[in-house]
Structure 1
Amino acid sequence: MIHIILVDDDAMIREGLKMIIETQEDFILDAVCENGEKAIEACRLYKPEVTLLDIRMPGMNGIEVAKLLIEENISKPLLLTTFDEPDLILNAMKANVYGYILKSASADTMLSAIRTVALGGNVFQKDVMDFITSQVSEQKQKENHLFDSLTEREVEVAAAIAEGLSNKEIGKKLFISDGTVRNHISVILSKTGLEHRTQIAVRYLTR
């Protein structure tokens, strides 16, 4: 079973997502929260696999909540966003969130994203990635060379991360152990100056 906490300050969004989540037999919705402070309390209590977070909320925004959840290792945050939040989306790239998905995404897309994140994968909806790419176009030349120092195997690992695969799935795909995958990721971070796997995925997809 996948335990989930839903966080959004819009009552209509909360109710709509709640209905979608509750249609799934393998999902358990532990709590529905209207702000970041209540979300943190609920996550500390239930420790859900996935927390769906509105990126913009009064008080603590979704990015601030996500950072705290990751620091305390109590849930995997998946950010809900719209196209009118460029600054927050770009700031989210610097946080180790597990992905971003549009609030307008289809029910199937939303459910698939939750399952992927629960397994430790990353989700970057194509429309959001296209938007991010357009926002960072002025940095594109620099980022084109970000992976030049990587070995062929390290590039393969980076590509697999960008596909949203977990370490275990990457190991199976490339026929290497989980430990070797972790070592490759550490080397990639060291060579590129990035801070975590989410940044690897975003930079690879926008290179």
Structure 2
Amino acid sequence: MESLNRHTAGGRFRFATDSPYVAIQTDQPVGETMPHITKLGQSGFDVYVSEKGDYHYVGSLIPPSAAVPGYSAVVDCKTRRMRNYTIHMPLYDGVNEMYVGLAKGSEVRACEPYAHPMLILYYGSSITQDGCASRPGNGYQAMIARKLDADFINLGFSGSALGETAMAEYLAGIPCAVFVCDYDYNAPSAESLAETHEPALSPISEIAAGNTDCVCIKTEFPCGNRG
């Protein structure tokens, strides 16, 4: 958890601009390249444009193959008109600093608000952290968010989501319309799940019981620690 909480899975930043390109310069921790996920999924960024809730993939800001403390990249947006942009951040790396470059003279505005004023909150294992999506925008939460034009928070912790009471209390303090709990794959045994399910979920269930606008979705796959 100490290192995973610095990973930016699910992180996005949104803005509107008429720049014909989007560039980045990043400062990122130098970590080992993971053999079971693409370098783009681990450390790169995806760029999407949207108009009236209709999202389209523009391109990826691809990191170099070598382990380096950050990089620069550019995506050609092929037009100079005002559009909404979403940049999806790395799934299995952190970001210390990031700068966005736009064409000189470009206008920058706030992005259009989401169509649905709802927040979807996810908690779970590496599956929730989107291992091993080929690129950041291909995480399943990002796909759902684009389909619904809704916001989300990804609290997936690879191999480390154990349903601790302290975590449940933290999750219960985040206002959301939908809560998706999917941590069973990290449990060492079915007995462990029997011990943690009720204590872990009770604070969230109490919140949902008093809020008819909140839906809790719980998956159950007690199959041992599979990451």
Q: Rg bigger for which structure?
A: 2
* TM-score interval, normalised by the smaller of the two chains: 0.3 to 0.5
Q: Using CA pairs under 8 Å that are at least 6 residues apart, name the structure with larger relative contact order, 1 or 2.
A: 2
In terms of fraction of residues, the more strand-rich structure is: 2
Q: TM-score, normalised by structure 1?
A: 0.33
TM-score (norm 2): 0.30
